[in-house]
Structure 1
Amino acid sequence: MNITLVTVGKLKEKYLKDAISEYSKRLSRYCKLDIIELQDEKTPENASDKEESLIKEKEGQKILGCIKDNMYVIALDLKGSMISSEEFSELIGDLGIRGNSNIVFVIGGSLGLSKDVLSRADYKLCFSKMTFPHQLFRVMLLEQIYRGFRIMKGEPYHK
């Protein structure tokens, strides 16, 4: 299985880079992982709704440029479905069984995802109604993907 993360914004903190490196190493037993970091657009402090919409559209075009036709797209979106770790594991497993072996997870910038990206998404996933720093969220997503594979294989980890 091929898992791709498309993320907007640079990862700066060493401790987060270390955590991502650790989960990337752990995931290498289960899948091929590719992380694509895209440059975020600078948002003026008092940006209008129109400016924010244009920024999301620019970031969205960059995101869509990384997504191939054969990829199953899971967008991280506050309006998406909230599921348990077991259900998440089942989702990934079912995709593999149905021949969707190229899964891309999309984490937008600080303003969220454009309408075009959300339209392209095959599934919209919400971890929580809370807001998390995008850099930290990458670690959380990788941890859940790792947990999902462990659950799928019946290996101890998820308790």
Structure 2
Amino acid sequence: MQIQILTVGKIKEKYLKMGIDEYTKRLGPFARVEIREVKDEKTPDGASAAEEEQIQAKETARLKALLKPGTYIIALDIKGKNLSSPEFASQLDKLATTGQSHITFLIGGSLGLSRELLKMADLRLSFSAMTFPHQLFRLILLEQIYRAYKINRGEPYHK
């Protein structure tokens, strides 16, 4: 399985980098994980809707440039479908068994993902109705992917 995580913005916090590195390493036996970051645009305080659309358009173009043809796209979206950890594990297992060996997760910047990217997604997934910093969310996503593999293998990590 090849897992690509395309995300807006860079990680600056050392503790987040360490956690991301740890879960990327743990996923090594199960999948090839690639994390690609694109530059985020600064959003001025009080930005108009038009300014926000322009910012999202720039970030969208950068993300789209990294999408591989034929990949299964999962967009992380607060309004997406909620799955439990076992349901998420089942979804990943189903993709693998039906020949979808390349999955791309999209994580937007502070303004989220554009409507264009959300429409391109094969699945819009929400981990919570809460808002998380997009930098922290990378770590949460990697942990949940790792948990999914452990669930699918019947290993005790999930408990």
TM more than 0.5:
yes
Q: How does 1:103-142 map to 2 (within 5 A)?
A: 103-142=103-142
2:33 is the counterpart of 1:33:
yes
Partner SS, residue 26 of structure 1: helix
Amino acid at match of 1:157: Y
Q: TM-score, normalised by structure 2?
A: 0.98
| SS in structure 2 at match of 1:157 | helix
Task: Return the alpha-carbon distance in structure 2 between the equivalents of residues 130 and 86 of structure 1.
Answer: 20
The alpha-carbon deviation at position 151 of structure 1 amounts to 0.4
Alpha-carbon shift at residue 58 of structure 1 (Å): 1.1
Deviation at 1:142, TM superposition (A): 0.2
Q: Distance in 1 between matches of 2:143 and 2:26?
A: 9
Paired residue secondary structure (1:67): coil
User: Which ranges of structure 1 fall in alignment gaps of 5 or more residues?
Assistant: none
Aligned counterpart, 1:19: 19
Aligned residue for 1:59?
Answer: 59
TM-superposed CA distance for 1:129, in Å, is 0.6
Q: Percent identity?
A: 54
The amino acid that maps onto 1:87 is E
CA distance in 2, matches of 1:156, 1:139: 20
Alpha-carbon RMSD: 0.6
Whether 1:8 and 2:8 are equivalent positions in the alignment is: yes
* Structure 2 residue identity aligned to 1:49: A
Structure 2 residues not aligned, in runs of 5+:
none
Q: Tell me how far apart the structure 2 counterparts of residues 68 and 17 of structure 1 sit (CA, whole Å).
A: 25
Structure 1 distance, partners of 2:17, 2:61, is 26
C-alpha distance in structure 1 between counterparts of 2:35 and 2:41, whole Å: 19
- State the shift of 1:70 in Å: 1.1
Task: Summarize deviations over 1:88-111 as a string: whole Å, max 9, x none.
Answer: 000000001111000000000000
Q: Tell me the number of residue pairs that the alignment of Structure 1 and Structure 2 aligns.
A: 159
Give TM-score, length-normalised by structure 1: 0.98
